[in-house]
């Protein structure tokens, strides 16, 4: 089918002045390349602080890469003028971890979902229809759209954030730890909702998590990120059956109740009813399980680049 998005050698350096006024810079993403097929479901897994969010923001040019580039559907995003990029960005949306900070507490759900649609000149009747349809898709009654975010649970809020991400009819969704703030029981529901939406709308996903169980359940291809680099990338089952990289093996071995083995039995191809039954108790690694040394990429760790395929 061909790639929808290709990242070439993305580097992102965070500039922040030190106490002595020096501006050292910190390479949060270090020469990352990968591509995602149209309608693919690509996962990135890695510990807290390894650069996942930085990479996602760089890919969408919310915070452009320091070097390297991104080609989306044949268009080099780095070549676009700010105005062109804004228009282009409708095709790529991102859902972040925290639905509380993603929704403006002073705006009704209807107004939050209307914003983008007003920008593209959609009239009120069409907006109302579209918002009703999207809320229905994520399992929220359209009758509740005049309510404010605080009137919803965290899980419902994340559903609303997902609906908002869909208002622009994007082709590509980045899901950055979309369920990490949710209770375990709710996590499985939202994950299955995301898989259903993907199927129904024919979307392409980049799914980001520190939880390898979750990534395995969601994604066809998994890239393992460690200290700013992708150290291994493989189809999910292959990665689990034959992890080549030492860090990947460490990740797999540290999943509670598993010894480097996981039954991924192509969960992504199950019907939604089957998925409901097989949804994992999504726990995996606890957040902050391993925290990277944020001042240096050259610690006492072994060379972890051997397994890139
Ligand atoms: N704006 C910034 N300025 C300076 N350093 C930053 C900035 N944003 C992130 N960092 C640093 O870059 C590194 C990567 O951060 P990032 O948020 O991308 O990691 P992450 O993998 O998304 O972590 P988490 O799983 O906790 O969300 C971290 O060491 C972080 O402290
Ligand atoms: Mg993050």
| 160-184 pLDDT tens trace | 999 999 999 999 999 999 999 999 8
Q: 94-133, pLDDT tens digit by residue? A: 999 987 888 999 999 999 999 999 999 999 999 999 999 9
Which mutation among 11, 12, 13, 14 tests ligand 1's pocket best, with the greatest number of atoms within 8 A of CB?
14
- 163 in Cβ contact with 137 (< 8 Å): yes
Q: How far apart are CA 49 and CA 42, in angstroms?
A: 20
3 state DSSP class of 181: coil
Which mutation among 11, 51, 60, 293 tests ligand 1's pocket best, with the greatest number of atoms within 8 A of CB?
51
Q: How are strands ordered across the β-sheet holding 221-226?
A: 92-95, 172-176, 204-209, 41-45, 221-226, 229-235
Ligand minimally distant from the alpha carbon of residue 49:
1
Residue 84 has pLDDT above 80, yes or no: yes
Q: What is the DSSP letter of 182?
A: S
Least confident of 53-62, 142-151, 201-210, 266-275: 266-275
b/e burial code for range 22-37 (CB count within 10 A of at least 16 → b): eeeebbbbbebebbbe
Distance 191 CA to ligand 2 centre (A): 18
Minimal-distance CA residue to ligand 1 atom 9: 54
3 state DSSP class of 178: coil
Residue 87: band (very low, low, confident or very high) from pLDDT cuts 50, 70, 90: confident
Phi/psi of residue 24, nearest 5 degrees: -80, -40
Check if CATH label 3.40.50.720 holds for domain 41-57+81-278. no
Ligand minimally distant from the alpha carbon of residue 28:
1
Residue 24: band (very low, low, confident or very high) from pLDDT cuts 50, 70, 90: confident
Residue 296 has pLDDT above 60, yes or no: no
Distance 137 CA to ligand 2 centre (A): 27
| Structure confidence at residue 255 (pLDDT) | 74
- Catalogue the long-range contacts made by 275-279 (C-beta closer than 8 Å, 24 or more residues apart): 275/192, 275/195, 276/188, 276/192, 279/188, 279/189, 279/191, 279/192, 279/217
Pocket lining for ligand 1, CB < 6 angstroms: 14, 16, 26, 28, 46, 48-54, 210, 294
| Structure confidence at residue 276 (pLDDT) | 43
Q: How far apart are CA 133 and CA 237, in angstroms?
A: 36
| Structure confidence at residue 59 (pLDDT) | 97
Minimal-distance CA residue to ligand 1 atom 4: 14
Distance 48 CA to ligand 1 centre (A): 8
Distance 102 CA to ligand 2 centre (A): 14
Residue 280 has pLDDT above 60, yes or no: no
Distance 52 CA to ligand 2 centre (A): 5
| Structure confidence at residue 300 (pLDDT) | 29
pLDDT, the chain, mean: 84
Ligand 1 nearest atom to the CA of residue 46, by list position:
21
Q: How far apart are CA 244 and CA 231, in angstroms?
A: 9
Ligand minimally distant from the alpha carbon of residue 44:
1
Distance 176 CA to ligand 2 centre (A): 7
Phi/psi of residue 43, nearest 5 degrees: -110, 145
Q: 178-188, pLDDT tens digit by residue? A: 999 999 889 99
Domain ranges of the chain: 41-57+81-278
Q: How far apart are CA 70 and CA 34, in angstroms?
A: 10
What's the pTM value of the predicted model, to 2 decimals?
Answer: 0.84
Ligand 1 nearest atom to the CA of residue 294, by list position:
29
Q: Which has more pLDDT, 271 or 240?
A: 240
Residue 197 has pLDDT above 50, yes or no: yes
- Token pair for residue 240? 């689990």
């Amino acid at each position: 089918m061909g790639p929808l998005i290709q990242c070439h050698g993305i580097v992102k350096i965070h500039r922040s002045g030190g106490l002595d006024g020096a501006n050292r810079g910190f390479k949060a993403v270090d020469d990352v390349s990968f591509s995602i097929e149209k309608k693919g479901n690509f996962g990135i897994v890695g510990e807290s602080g390894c650069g996942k969010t930085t990479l996602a923001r760089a890919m969408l040019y919310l915070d452009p890469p320091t070097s390297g580039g991104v080609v989306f559907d044949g268009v080099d995003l780095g070549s676009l003028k700010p105005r062109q990029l804004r228009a282009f960005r409708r095709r790529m949306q991102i859902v972040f971890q925290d639905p509380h900070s993603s929704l403006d507490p002073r705006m009704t759900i209807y107004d939050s979902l209307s914003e983008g649609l007003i920008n593209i000149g959609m009239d009120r009747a069409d907006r109302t229809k579209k918002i009703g349809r999207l809320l229905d898709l994520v399992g929220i009654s359209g009758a509740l759209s005049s309510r404010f975010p605080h009137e919803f649970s965290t899980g419902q809020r994340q559903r609303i954030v997902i609906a908002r991400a869909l208002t622009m009819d994007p082709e590509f969704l980045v899901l950055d730890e979309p369920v990490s703030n949710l209770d375990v029981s709710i996590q499985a529901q939202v994950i299955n909702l995301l898989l259903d939406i993907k199927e129904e709308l024919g979307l392409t996903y980049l799914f980001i998590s520190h939880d390898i169980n979750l990534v395995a359940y969601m994604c066809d291809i998994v890239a393992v990120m460690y200290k700013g680099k992708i150290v291994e990338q493989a189809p999910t089952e292959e990665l689990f059956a034959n992890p080549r990289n030492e860090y990947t093996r460490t990740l797999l071995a540290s999943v509670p109740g598993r010894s480097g083995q996981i039954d991924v039995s192509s969960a992504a191809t199950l019907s939604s009813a089957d998925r409901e039954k097989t949804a994992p108790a999504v726990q995996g690694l606890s957040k902050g399980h391993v925290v990277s040394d944020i001042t240096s990429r050259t610690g006492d760790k072994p060379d972890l680049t051997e397994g890139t395929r």
